Structure 1
């Protein structure tokens, strides 16, 4: 089981490679998935020797398929598309697994049978949806398509290996098949997370162009919104939403959104706000009296809630990380 041992041994190294500061949802979902897989692998090796530890490891390893789905959503969906309900569904799946695990065998049937059916149905749906998340959005760049196809292909291969373990003649090696598949899944997920951190999701410009042609301009509203941004500096408010801006402008939300797309040339409100926040961050990073200010502190001062979204937005706008931007500026100043 060298693959399993290598997978478990690399967890600490991978975690240390993640940026410091508040953990991003991507890092959190990867950590949860890694913990679940590590517990599954560890239970195979030590669960039968230490009974209480084995029970704990089983409880931790209940829903790797659900966590894989949450991770794939974070890998392939934009921040604006985050929803709370997928995590709730995974919570329901965990609860059904817990009930089935704790229920005495003599009580199987009736409501417990319904719970078991629900567990099987939700688990199967999540297995499929993990694959769907990857292949949904193939109208992206060539590199993004390759990433999605590699993820989907690798995932489909691992699911196939797990299903083969149930076939007659191979069922004697069922546990070993699944340990190898789980270990490879963790390695693949770790590589996918590293790729996504270095290559954030691209913002599609096609919809912005099409909508700007179909929506009439409103220069007066655009001027009022610009004043709200440049004078009132609402972008410094961490939780500002388009509804908040519309309320201050006394204008319906949809008109503000139309104005952002057609007049100001941004895909959505978040992209507009982030452009001002990043400009503010660039200004602060250039100030000599803030040379020792932590980047996390600057991110929070500019309206970002955590370091992960700030790093991704900053790199998307400037082509480099905040640290590299600050370092390059210092080098340029020293040359002068």
Structure 2
């Protein structure tokens, strides 16, 4: 256990606070399927991932559920974190733009803005993670 964690645990015992527990998702299979459908529909139809600064709070509001429920659903059912989900859709959108030749000469700065990323580092890390290639290598081998 980390020093910081041990101290926090001791403090929680001394001051009567319990350590935080993760919220456990307890919904039936039908509700899971319906929420999954609504989530995918939102992502594919409205494309909120293209908005810079789109947050879990925003998505939860659009799906009419609490943030903690959406977070638990993503983590426990879909096995993905919110930002990872957004970045996955952003990179897929980027690849669609490249394949459909929506850009005359693909430039990373333009793609960053058009795909909802805030900065180049996040874009290049996500691009490599989801494609297995760097952006420049991907464009060269298209």
Q: TM-score range by the shorter chain?
A: 0.7 to 0.9
> 1:58-207, aligned counterparts within 5 Å?
none
Task: Give the one of 242, 250, 253 matched to 2:67.
Answer: 253
CA distance in 1, matches of 2:68, 2:88: 20
Q: Alpha-carbon deviation of 1:291?
A: 4.0
Do residues 239 (structure 1) and 56 (structure 2) align?
no
CA distance in 1, matches of 2:103, 2:114: 12
Q: Runs of 4+ in structure 1 displaced over 3 angstroms?
A: 214-217
Q: Counterpart of 1:273?
A: 86
| Contact kept? 1:286, 1:326, Cα under 8 Å | no
| Contact kept? 2:48, 2:54, Cα under 8 Å | yes
C-alpha RMSD over aligned residues: 2.0
Report the TM-score when normalising by structure 1: 0.33
Residues 281-302 of structure 1: per-residue CA shift (max 9 Å, x gap): 1111223352413121012100
Runs (5+) with no aligned partner, structure 1: 1-131, 133-210, 330-336
| Contact kept? 2:25, 2:69, Cα under 8 Å | no
> Which one has a larger percent helix, Structure 1 or Structure 2?
1
Report the TM-score when normalising by structure 2: 0.74
Runs (5+) with no aligned partner, structure 2: 4-21
More contact order relative to length (CA 8 Å, sep ≥ 6)? 2
Do residues 315 (structure 1) and 131 (structure 2) align?
no
CA distance in 2, matches of 1:296, 1:257: 30
Higher-Rg structure is 1
